[in-house]
Structure 1
Amino acid sequence: MTTPDVGTDDEAGVTVRCQDNASVGVTFRDRFSLDADSVHYAVELHAPGLTARVDEVVAWVWDSELAVFLEGLAADYRGWDGERKWQNDDRDLAVSAVFRSGGHVGLTWTLRPWTHAAGGWSASVTTWLEAGEQMAALAADVRVFLAEG
């Protein structure tokens, strides 16, 4: 069973690993704030043969928060039909969620920096977590990470 880790290195961060394959995961780290209106942080995706990082994902105070999205998924631990989606205002981080029988949530994390630039790129990984406690722990860890100051 894999759960999100907080502060896995010397610096504060959140890492979530796929319960089906622990070499697949997402890490949030290097959080900083330039003003009261935003939080900046890095997101890294990792899987066998893949490492991708966006250094400055921005969460604006008026954004639909990632933590709120994850908390909603955790609250619906009995499941839902279809796919649920979230993306930050700049569209360089997106998450889609599906529910699988047996009480598991698949989160597909997509990084897509420079969405309007020629030569842009995107990368995605999917992490599977238990719909109840693991999702609730991830939501809480992300909320704390984004609120630290």
Structure 2
Amino acid sequence: MTIRCQDNASVGVTFCDRFSFDADCVHYAVEPRAPGLTARVDEVVAWIWDSDLAPFLEELAANYRGWDGERSWQTNDRDLTVSAVFRSGGHVGLTWALRPWPQAAGRWGASVTTWLGAGGQMASLAADVRTFLAERQQ
């Protein structure tokens, strides 16, 4: 699943390589990209008991008329953070920040911002993320 910025199609984020060891969590890779940037975190974890990314995106889509300030969500391990801002004209900026191994020596971080339409594009993204995270192993 790839999210592309409507302002610059060379900027985006890909969710891929989903797998699960048990019924409690889902692991997946996240790959942000932009001109001059490629990165990958192999094991972002979504726990079933945590508030996952899909409800956060669904709430943003439901507030298509906008909001003040920044809203954010992060994984329990804090290796993926998504921050959202609303700008005039009905657009949502989603900043996808990866910071794996925050306590390890040699840690790194990377982020990209994708801009999407506040209504239908956000609702479609939320549905795509929900489907990606809920897929059964083949």
Q: TM-score, normalised by structure 2?
A: 0.98
**Cα distance in 2 for residues equivalent to 1:28 and 1:63:** 19
- The 2-side partners of 1:121 and 1:61 are apart by 27
Q: Which residue of 2 aligns with 1:121?
A: 108
Once residues 63 and 44 of structure 1 are traced to their aligned partners in structure 2, the CA distance between those partners, rounded to angstroms, is 22
Count of aligned pairs: 136
Q: Which residue of structure 2 lines up, in the alignment, with residue 16 of structure 1?
A: 3
Matched residue type, 1:61: I
1:19 is displaced (CA, Å) by 0.4
C-alpha distance in structure 2 between counterparts of 1:62 and 1:101, whole Å: 35
Q: Is structure 2 residue 9 aligned with structure 1 residue 35?
A: no
RMSD: 0.4
Residue in 2 that maps onto 1:107 = 94
Q: In the TM superposition, what is the alpha-carbon distance from 1:62 to its structure 2 partner?
A: 1.2
Find the counterpart in structure 2 of residue 46 from structure 1: 33
Name segments (4+ residues, structure 1) moved above 2 Å.
none
Secondary structure in 2 aligned to 1:39? strand
Give the TM-score normalised by structure 1. Answer: 0.91
Once the two structures are superposed, what CA deviation does each residue of 1:8-31 show, in whole Å capped at 9, x if it has no partner?
xxxxxx101000000000000000
Alignment counterpart, residue 42 of structure 2, candidates 49, 55, 59: 55
CA deviation after TM superposition for structure 1 residue 118, in Å: 1.3
Instruction: Give the aligned residue type for 1:127.
Output: T
- Alignment partners' CA distance in 1, 2:82 and 2:98: 9
Deviation for aligned residue 1:119:
1.2
Q: Match for residue 81 of structure 1?
A: 68
Q: Percent identity?
A: 81
Aligned partner (choices 9, 23, 26) of residue 13 of structure 2: 26
- The equivalent residue for 2:128 is 141
How far 1:35 moved relative to its partner? Answer: 0.3
